Amino acid sequence: MNDQSIHTDDVNEIRDRPLSKLTYRILSFNLLVIIILAMGVSYLGTARKYIIEAQLENLETETALYATILNAAASIAGKKTPDLFEESDQARQQAVFHYFNGAVSGLNALKEQKIVIYDGRGRVFLETGDLPMRRFYEVKSNADSQWGEKLSSTIQGLLSVTFRLQPLPDIHDAAQILAREQPINYGDLKIAAWAGVDGGLILTAFSPIYEGDRIVGGFRVIRRDRAVEDNFAETREEIFRFIFLAMIMTIAHSLYLAGSIGHPLRILAVAAEKYRLNQGRAQVIPDLSARDDEIGELSHAMREMAQSLEARVNAIEQFAADVAHELKNPLTSLRSAIETLPRVKNSDDQAQLMRIAMHDIQRMDRLISDISLTSKLDAELARDVPSMIDIKELLKNIIEKYHSQKVPMITLSAPEGAVLVGGSNARLDQVFCNLIDNAVSFSPPGGAITVSIDRNADRVKITVDDEGPGLPENKLHQIFERFYSERPEQENFGMHSGLGLSIAQQIIMAMGGKIDAENIKDADGRIKGARFIVRLKSTYLRNNFNG
């Protein structure tokens, strides 16, 4: 059976949660920012993919149309001039060049594309059109550009998308370009995407030129479509808007956290520091308990702690004052006896003064011992490791010790089986020895003392009854105060320090229990004795212990 920690009933335990409310707030804001950024990134990636695919399909379709026209032109030219692209006399080559130049011009080629015709050996036979450059690239390349133009080019560079693709080789290196171009919809038509020297997107499409069934050359369309790059620039601008919005939300979130978490914590820290420097005097911990989160719980706990510390400081001051008062009485008596002793000549009077002095010394010794025990008790109770104790067995052992002495009859009334409580065996022994000693002191000759145990699922109640004169009705709550002393008439003065019941209460409360006192009365209301009641937490396990 594992040991169980003992807690007082009035401790407000902080509720245990899988995630705190502050954690939920922080996560909700941060996740929202991440979702917004993810939306922006996914939007850019999706747009890039679909736009490139669409442009490649458009270029492939257009190149297929070009191929139809150029193949028809090649068939017509081939009838007039066999071996179309083979080297021959200059006049013949010039005629073929002008023929294809006219055919390519008739295709109404876009300004932002270039068409290159290759002969059968892969050499450039005809090149028409030109590829534009990005304006910001041209400005950056110009060392004489003005600062305004450079700033404008920098902004354009941020908005423009740089395509991480393989750079386009020189158009004369037909084999290297053709090695990367791949067919998509048409078997003999191949396309590819490239990056220009300025990072822009360049698309190429290649188709062979047929003369009848024989391939006599080929042509390549190289396109730089500004519309694609503008589209990407707009997409990049949207991403920047997403990022800007995320930054605003992040800043707002930071300010929110600083206001709702950091600032209150700072207030509590400053108050705690002032409390420490002022030694807990005249300092109020801010009340933030209205907040339904951990900071509210922290504020409540700190206020409770401050009140507890202040009560402890007041108790220590009162204890010091009580100690001074209790020690002053025997010291005054001792001083008076010592000062009187030299002036007394009678030996009997001298012996009487010596007995008074010894009595005061013994009284002071008892006071100092009990005071020392009381001052150390809190720390010792905090170090004690609680365990399962059979209170019935503990009381049996205590009562057996009294049976060997000439004391009133002590009987134990208890239920069958073990009665378990959580606590310290030595401390509980000290408490009940004190209560039984007190009952023995007040019991008349032939009187009886009854110790009873009652239990339920939550509590164990132990009562100690005697048949003595009882307790003063108006002092039932004062008997547990320090240095309270209401002793039997037959007992010598100073035999007790008045700390016994106070120590008993201190121990029981530290174990999460309670101790009370009352008088036992008959039907007519006459006092028949005193009763002390101790209530402790029960660890009675109905299924494990049988009567």
Per-residue confidence band for 282, with pLDDT thresholds at 50, 70 and 90: low
Whole-angstrom Cα distance, residue 62 to residue 109?
10
- 123-174 confidence digits (pLDDT tens): 888 888 888 877 666 656 666 666 666 666 666 666 666 777 899 999 888 8
Within-domain flag for 442: yes
H helix intervals, 10-125: 21-80, 90-106
Per-residue confidence band for 11, with pLDDT thresholds at 50, 70 and 90: very low
DSSP-derived 3-state class of residue 465: strand
Kindly tell me if the per-residue pLDDT of 29 is higher than 90: no
Within-domain flag for 544: yes
| Domain final residue pick, 234, 260, 279 | 234
Q: What is the pLDDT, as a whole number, of residue 515?
A: 92
Q: Are 463 and 451 in contact (CB under 8 A)?
A: yes
Within-domain flag for 253: no
Report how many domains make up the chain. 2
Q: Which structural domain, as residue segments, surrounds residue 531?
A: 385-547
Q: What is the pLDDT, as a whole number, of residue 395?
A: 93
Q: Please enumerate, as own/partner, the contacts of 397-401 that have beta carbons within 8 Å and a separation of 24 or more.
A: 398/429, 398/432, 398/433, 398/436, 399/436, 399/451
CA 222 to chain centre: 59
Within-domain flag for 12: no
Q: Are 530 and 439 in contact (CB under 8 A)?
A: yes
- For residue 439, what is the domain's CATH number? 3.30.565.10
Whole-angstrom Cα distance, residue 394 to residue 371?
26
| Domain final residue pick, 234, 253, 270 | 234
Per-residue confidence band for 453, with pLDDT thresholds at 50, 70 and 90: very high
Within-domain flag for 80: yes
Within-domain flag for 248: no
DSSP state of 48: H
How far is CA 316 from each of CA 310, 313, 323, 374, 506, rounded to the nearest angstrom?
A: 10, 5, 10, 11, 14
β-strand 448-455 against 420-423: which pairing, if any? unpaired
Whole-angstrom Cα distance, residue 398 to residue 401?
5
- For residue 198, what is the domain's CATH number? 3.30.450
Q: Which of 204, 112, 196 is nearest to 160 (CA)?
A: 196
Whole-angstrom Cα distance, residue 6 to residue 389?
13
Whole-angstrom Cα distance, residue 260 to residue 295?
9
Whole-angstrom Cα distance, residue 509 to residue 511?
5
Within-domain flag for 250: no
Task: Compare 450 and 330 and report the one with higher pLDDT.
Answer: 450
Residue 61 is encoded by which pair of tokens? Answer: 């379709």
| Domain final residue pick, 212, 234, 256 | 234
DSSP-derived 3-state class of residue 5: coil
Within-domain flag for 403: yes
How far is CA 16 from each of CA 11, 13, 293, 294, 426, rounded to the nearest angstrom?
A: 15, 9, 12, 11, 34
Task: Compare 323 and 479 and report the one with higher pLDDT.
Answer: 479
- 345-370 confidence digits (pLDDT tens): 888 888 888 888 887 788 788 778 77
- pTM (2 decimals)? 0.47
Q: What is the pLDDT, as a whole number, of residue 449?
A: 92
Whole-angstrom Cα distance, residue 319 to residue 482?
8
β-strand 190-195 against 448-455: which pairing, if any? unpaired
Whole-angstrom Cα distance, residue 20 to residue 4?
27
